[in-house]
Structure 1
């Protein structure tokens, strides 16, 4: 199968997940870029940020039109993560490639387990509105985005539900604002890892991801969120296991 076809298929899946779940798509983008399209781990995380920025912005527009975005709270949450995202992004080129892959696999496994756990997205009845916790969660999310090239929606959505007390639809929509801001901040400091990227692969990947994000938004309105999360969690756990196996062998 040609690289173009693989990029188109992978992009559609990433966009679908991001539009439906408010996150998680980038965790599939990185392994797809490494194992299907031959990118190095550092280049894959940079390309993933480009894909996620464009796709999250598209999905954000769709959710914003539907009234699912809390703009003020989301902007404040995102602001806490911008500096950590930029700092971590600048450090990526200095880290061993195997370490990046192992760290990414561990985060993917954590995300999968959160999605598979009953009540994994958080219980709105147990939320606490604490500015310090919100700032800490935003900063941690930004660092994760900058280092591993993941949007972090799988952490942003539960944080917005449990820390700020958002309903699930508002958390999904608002997480896309956070993802867009953090991804863009990280990209600004990743100059050395953008050289030599294969735009003939990235461009179609981005295009189908953006289209998939619209379909994901429609899918989220028809299928229960818990079903979507568990299906995606199983796929993600398998991907994490394969990546860890690759690092260890």
Structure 2
């Protein structure tokens, strides 16, 4: 199967997951880039950030039009992650490839566990008040993960916005896209060394089908049970994490 077709298929799957679940699809982008498309772990995390940025900005625009983005609180949360994202992005290029793969596998496993055991959901109409200390800590941690591992972190941002800032789910999903976009751009700004050799002939179609797939995923999420989708995705993610961990240790 040609590289172009693989990129189109992988992008569609990532987009479907993002659109249907509101996060988590980007966790599949890195292993797809490494094992299907031949990227190094460092190159895959950089390419993933490009894909995540483009897809998140597109989705952010759509969510903003429906009024599901809380700009003030989201900006405060995102601001705390800018410096950690930039520093982690610069450090990622200097880490051993096996260490990056193992760290990503651990994060993927964590994401799967969180999807199998969903956290509390805030009620509609929850307060928009910003809790500075907790928001700063959560925002900084998410920024560091985004910069280091090339994931958007929607599967972590959404629960954090629900539990730390007491957002209802629709607002948490919409605002998380602002946080993800900001952190991804900050990390990309420090990854000059890992962008030079990227294969744009692969990244461009991957990104395009991810954006289109996100729209189809949104419709799929309205037709199929959310908990069922999460369980299936989590099991796939656990299998991917196990494979990557074994690969890093051998």
TM-score, normalised relative to structure 2: 0.94
In the alignment, what sits opposite 2:120? 122
Q: Deviations over 1:58-102 (max 9, x none)?
A: 111122222222122111111110111011101111100000000
Does the aligned pair in 1 maintain the 2:73–2:130 contact within 8 Å? no
In the alignment, what sits opposite 1:27? 27
Which secondary structure does the structure 2 equivalent of 1:94 belong to?
coil
Does the aligned pair in 1 maintain the 2:16–2:25 contact within 8 Å? yes
| Distance in 2 of aligned mates of 1:177 and 1:221 | 23
| Distance in 2 of aligned mates of 1:99 and 1:62 | 37
Does the aligned pair in 2 maintain the 1:63–1:217 contact within 8 Å? no
Which secondary structure does the structure 1 equivalent of 2:152 belong to?
coil
| Distance in 2 of aligned mates of 1:129 and 1:73 | 6
User: 1:44-123 alignment to 2 at 5 Å?
Assistant: 44-117=44-117, 120-123=118-121
Q: Deviations over 1:181-205 (max 9, x none)?
A: 1001100000000111111101100
- Give how far 1:144 is off: 0.3
In the alignment, what sits opposite 2:10? 10
Does the aligned pair in 1 maintain the 2:55–2:210 contact within 8 Å? yes
The CA RMSD measured in Å over matched residues stands at 1.7
Does the aligned pair in 2 maintain the 1:85–1:186 contact within 8 Å? yes
Q: 5+ unaligned residues in a row in structure 1: which ranges?
A: none
Q: 5+ unaligned residues in a row in structure 2: which ranges?
A: none
| Distance in 2 of aligned mates of 1:130 and 1:65 | 26
| Distance in 1 of aligned mates of 2:227 and 2:71 | 25
| Distance in 2 of aligned mates of 1:219 and 1:176 | 19
| Distance in 1 of aligned mates of 2:219 and 2:78 | 25
Does the aligned pair in 2 maintain the 1:78–1:182 contact within 8 Å? yes
| Distance in 2 of aligned mates of 1:186 and 1:42 | 13
- Give how far 1:216 is off: 2.2
- Give how far 1:129 is off: 6.3
| Distance in 1 of aligned mates of 2:119 and 2:6 | 31
Does the aligned pair in 2 maintain the 1:18–1:59 contact within 8 Å? no
In the alignment, what sits opposite 1:233? 234
**Count of paired positions:** 247
- Give how far 1:131 is off: 2.0
- Give how far 1:130 is off: 3.0
Q: Go from structure 1 to structure 2 and tell me whether the alpha carbon gap of 1:143 and 1:42 turns closer, same or farther (over 3 Å shift).
A: same
User: 1:171-182 alignment to 2 at 5 Å?
Assistant: 171-182=172-183
- Give how far 1:148 is off: 0.3
